[in-house]
Amino acid sequence: MSRTKPIHHSIIQRCKKNDAKAQMELYNLYCKAMFLVAKRYMKDDMAAEDVMQDAFIKAFKKMETYKGEVSFGAWLKRIVINQSIDELKKKRLELVSINNETHQVLEDDDWQVEDATTMQHIVSCIKELKEKYRVVLSLYLLEGYDHQEISQILGITEVTSRTHLLRGKKQLQKSLKHMRYAEGY
């Protein structure tokens, strides 16, 4: 894997030397985007902000481990996602293992939505789902993780990941239909 030249190389190098001013610069460059990532997993803005700030603290402490193999934003995003998952686990997120008989393969399932549906509608409806469905949907749809990765991140089986995704998707589709009906389109 080839290394990428970080966009903010000089700031990152100064952060590796614990330069507080550089850390603040880096925080200001990435805080809005990382807040949005945390918001996908946390129910409210305050919890998302706490997760984001904890992730930045963790990133600054582990800055020496950043080697430039991926973009800094991708590296930091991974930390924010992991911090969000850790926070949800602390709250004892109930991810109940589902029997194999309820397992349904999603590969032939249709993920299309109405043309008038915006990304904002989808994200808004995802935020209203139960946490176990919201987390799996976000990891799968928004972050691009597969079921094996999701099962490792959340400590659940792949079957449970697929089941939560299926159930979350059904609830999401129901919410989107309700939203379309309410808005008259």
Please give the residue that has the higher pLDDT: either 112 or 77: 77
Question: What is the CATH number that goes with domain 9-90?
Answer: 1.10.1740.10
Task: List the structure tokens of 81.
Answer: 């996602």
CB atoms within 10 A of CB 24: 12
Judge whether residue 109 has pLDDT over 60. Answer: no
pLDDT of amino acid 11: 92
pLDDT band, very low/low/confident/very high, at 104 (cuts 50, 70, 90): very low
pLDDT band, very low/low/confident/very high, at 1 (cuts 50, 70, 90): very low
The pTM (predicted TM-score) of the whole model is 0.61
122-163 tens-digit pLDDT: 777 888 888 889 889 888 877 888 899 888 888 889 999 999
33-90 tens-digit pLDDT: 999 999 988 878 999 999 999 999 999 999 999 988 888 999 999 999 999 988 887 7
Same topology between domain 9-90 and domain 100-183: no
pLDDT of amino acid 108: 38
Pick the closest to residue 83 from 50, 131, 121, 45 (CA basis).
50
Ramachandran quadrant class, 18 (left: phi over 0; alpha: psi -120 to 50; beta: rest): left
CB 55 within 8 A of CB 76: yes
Pick the closest to residue 98 from 28, 167, 32, 17 (CA basis).
167
pLDDT band, very low/low/confident/very high, at 115 (cuts 50, 70, 90): low
Pick the closest to residue 72 from 135, 20, 10 (CA basis).
10
Residues 6+ apart with CB under 8 A from 53: none
CB atoms within 10 A of CB 79: 20
CB atoms within 10 A of CB 40: 21
Please give the residue that has the higher pLDDT: either 42 or 6: 42
Asked if the 100-183 domain carries CATH number 1.10.10.10, the reply is yes
Lowest mean pLDDT: which of 20-34, 144-158, 167-181?
A: 167-181
CA gap 42, 4 in Å, rounded: 31
Domain ranges of the chain: 9-90, 100-183
